[in-house]
Structure 1
């Protein structure tokens, strides 16, 4: 699949950069459900797909820029306490983060947005 020209036309034109809105429009051609309107939208969607995804692929599943909870922790502040706890906001996430990523541990599984929970829960 050629994301920039999915039907193979104009393949001999010189390559050029894409602006944020145009770049995300390329992603939405095939991934419209991820950018659907949600009551509670993940703020990262406003910043663009490449905030979390590498459009040209990588080693991580879902073309993510990082494969573990560090992806979420790039934007969501964490505070290490003297008792070796990791707090995000006012909630101790230490045990949750040991269970996997923020989404694979079963907590924030609606990563693009939710119609039910402002904390991106299903």
Structure 2
């Protein structure tokens, strides 16, 4: 069974995962663009029971466009988001794919908020496309 380690920039906050993600997605919403400082956010969803967390995190809670709350956990030293908890999906943790620093990470199967996607971004053709 595969194991991966996600980490903040300074290494203080980590998430060790066992097994493959249940979903890998990219989100083009404006909140993800602001949170990541990039043109989209890419995240992997794992069963909470398959994730071991280590280190100290600070939290930021925001309300999604649908009205649900998302609790982001980031390193208080370097500011990197390492995991998040989506309301209504308590059995899962989301982890930004960039926190794994793994170019071989599985390709996204879902692309959401594409109406806010930058014109030059081309999501995987076989992904589920949600406007």
TM-score, length of structure 2 as denominator length = 0.24
Q: Quick check: which has more Rg, 1 or 2?
A: 1
Answer 1 or 2: which has greater helix percent: 1
